Amino acid sequence: MLTMAVMMLILASCSNKSLQPPVAAKKPFVVESNGNERIDDYFWLRLSDEQKNAETPDSQTVEVVKYLTAEDDYATAVMKHTEALQQKLFDEIKGRIKEDDESVPYLNNGYYYQTRYFIGKEYPVYYRKKEGVDSAQVLLDVNVIAEGQKYTSVGGLSVSPDNNLMAYAVDHISRRQYTMLFMNLNSGELLGDRIENVTGEAVWANDNKTVFYVTKDPETLRAAKVMKHVLGTPVSDDKLIYDETDETFAVGLGKTKSKKYITIVSNQTLTTEVRLIEADKPEGKAVVFEPRKIDHLYSVEHLNGKFYIHTNADGAKNFKLMSCPENKTGMANWTEVIPHRSDVLLENFEIFDNYLVADEMIEGLTNLRIISLADNSDHFLDFGEETYTAGISVNPNANTSLLRFSYSSLTTPNSVFDYDMAARTKTLLKQDSVLGGFDKNNYESKRLWATAADGTKVPVSLVYRKGFVQDGSAPMLLYSYGSYGSSTNPSFRSSIISLLDRGFVYALAHIRGGSEMGRQWYEDGKLLKKINTFTDFNDCARFLINEKYTSPENLYAMGGSAGGLLMGAIANMEPQLYNGIIAQVPFVDVVSTMLDATIPLTTFEWDEWGDPRKQEYYDYMLSYSPYDQVKEQDYPHMLVTTGYWDSQVQYWEPAKWVAKLRDKKTDDNILIMDVNMTAGHGGASGRFERLKTTALEFAFILDLEEIKE
């Protein structure tokens, strides 16, 4: 990694005090694939991990860091007149957060587990309390781990079955390459075992000394190898349990609810394969549950001598639930528990001794269905709002009639309930406190339907402060994601109140590429149908303009990562619909990234975007790739964000895109890039520090609306 002294030297030499935007040098580079050639003038902005981590930077590293810093300085200079507004927004948003907060405890293996936050502290403190005992034990104080660090992420907390040991993982770089550590919970002392470059997942065998973990490829960061470590032995002696050699797959670990089996899950966009190891026999072999087959996605759970399988086999596009005996896992032995339905997406399930809970998406909204295993009778929870999001929460215990679930809406803060499935009564355990005088009765949410160009009805959720006048004059922030089948759920965000209270409407476009309307909704927004995602968003924008919820002069779009790709595409396709665009860590250099198998995430995402080594996909991806499609035209005002250590969307994608936009665009609209040199894909790690970026984003669009306070 660049030393602090060297970094400070570079930064001091390139401080940009003027309001002239940086101009990146053009250094033509030929990107070639299967006879296809493109000239990339800004390819030189790409640094390797070796260059970024070098003790002494080479000339290219110095030049790239100078350019990134110049962009960040320019953004700061352009937004300097909004500093007071940014501070006010930051104080507002932070002021709504209850600083001394705590999660609802859950019981697992004789202990209640809870997370707490304290006033002025950025990071959580993890606790546990033995059942029937009043005093709590500190498991881990992340604030202590973060002392002196610019970035800290802690994950993978996993307590041994005998409750005496704990594994956890730490990342101080933001590359999601964790170091696994082990603690004796009786003494609080760290063990000597230390495992580098892991995903953070740790699963204990039932002998309380054997731990399974996953290592990452040092270049691509693909989770590829499952290893077994015995505490007290050298890490160099760890045994390879499974090596996923197919570069389009990644592996993950789990443990069944029965605690009887450890699961090794190989997965990619279209295919899953699960292996099982008996937790009582960590020396045993990993046995395939059902061999992988292209287009077969499945997951398994185990309880009371039965396996339950969530699967899309035999044309069950929206998934179905099957079961089989413990000793006969082949598909021929599967029997139906919940059938496939063309109009209901079975997203998830939770199994108890006497109940089964199905998480089902129906017309874009989550429904929780309770099924009695005694007589197969069922009923749904009633949430009572027009647009909302709900989900199954932490339920480690099977011998209970209580379901823990979460709920929120655009006007209802995040809430945790226990639902008695026998008595059919629900108890609110906690609703997030929203300070600063928030009253949900001051706001109203709606669910509308826009019509896409091909006639498809697309749901839109929106919220505004009561008193809103539907005459086209209101500013609006329209958000979406639209990829990987990930639905844009209408959940509560306390930060948005700062916009609503200043007259904004906040809207979510539930476009194709997500799964809001079922698996086909996802299928119709990927690969050779990906452009539907972008046209759906533009059609939602047009609908909201035509219905006078806003106007092109007052409409702002926002999306991050793959949603940043969406932002880049709509900016190229119909820039006149938007006054401003916020592209957060945007994935915009689609073709070049998907051509390069050394870049993290590339190989197992060919089934999402297409493999551009094949001409059909190359041509289609090129037709919408935001970086490649930048043209001489007017663009909206734009704010782009990136992180130097981003392992999911490398910083050079937004950097190259901004450089090309500067060269091509024909307007005088604002184009700035906020560069975080110490963070990755998720931005700053502290719970308050990251709010500074939100304040910057909100100040950007408020300033364009000439709202100064």
d(CA 323, CA 337): 7
Can you read off the two tokens belonging to residue 426? 């629900």
Q: In what order do the strands lie in the sheet with 671-676?
A: 443-451, 457-465, 505-509, 476-479, 555-560, 580-584, 637-643, 671-676
Quick check: is 258 catalytic? no
Q: With H, G, I as helix, E, B as strand and everything else as coil, classify residue 226.
A: strand
Query: In angstroms, how far is CA 106 from the centroid of its own chain?
Result: 24
d(CA 549, CA 471): 7
Closest C-alpha to 57, from 47, 67, 44: 47
Distances (CA, A) of 297 to 314, 326, 349: 11, 20, 15
Among 174, 483, 515, 561, the one annotated catalytic? 561
SS3 content of the chain, % helix, strand, coil (to 5): 25, 35, 40
d(CA 341, CA 472): 40
Can you read off the two tokens belonging to residue 382? 């009633």
How many Cα atoms occupy the beta-carbon half-sphere of 601 within 13 Å?
17
Residue 680 DSSP class: B
d(CA 445, CA 505): 10
For residues 433 and 103, the answer to whether their CB atoms sit within 8 Å is no
d(CA 469, CA 194): 60
Closest C-alpha to 32, from 527, 618, 629, 620: 618
Q: What is the C-alpha R_g of the chain?
A: 26
Quick check: is 310 catalytic? no
d(CA 510, CA 196): 40
**How many residues in total does the chain contain?**
709
Among 296, 302, 637, 681, the one annotated catalytic? 681
Q: With H, G, I as helix, E, B as strand and everything else as coil, classify residue 543.
A: helix
Element (H, E) at 311: strand 306-311
Quick check: is 681 catalytic? yes
For residues 21 and 70, the answer to whether their CB atoms sit within 8 Å is no
Q: With H, G, I as helix, E, B as strand and everything else as coil, classify residue 82.
A: helix
d(CA 200, CA 154): 8
d(CA 16, CA 47): 22
How many Cα atoms occupy the beta-carbon half-sphere of 241 within 13 Å?
29
Among 646, 647, 674, 703, the one annotated catalytic? 646
d(CA 262, CA 536): 42
Element (H, E) at 628: none
Owner of token pair 């940009």: 16
φ and ψ at 546, to 5 degrees? -65, -35
Closest C-alpha to 701, from 534, 482, 493, 498: 498
Q: What is the 3-state secondary structure (H, E, C) of 372-438?
A: ECCCCCEEECCCCCCCEEEEECCCCCCCCCEEEEEEEECCCCCEEEEEECCCCEEEEEEECCECCCC
| β-strands 287-290, 272-278 pairing | antiparallel
Read off the amino acid at residue 475.
P
d(CA 284, CA 179): 26
- Count other Cβ atoms within 10 Å, centred on residue 665: 20
- Count other Cβ atoms within 10 Å, centred on residue 573: 16
Q: Packing angle between helix 691-704 and helix 83-95, nearest 10 degrees?
A: 130
Q: Which residues are catalytic?
A: 561, 646, 681
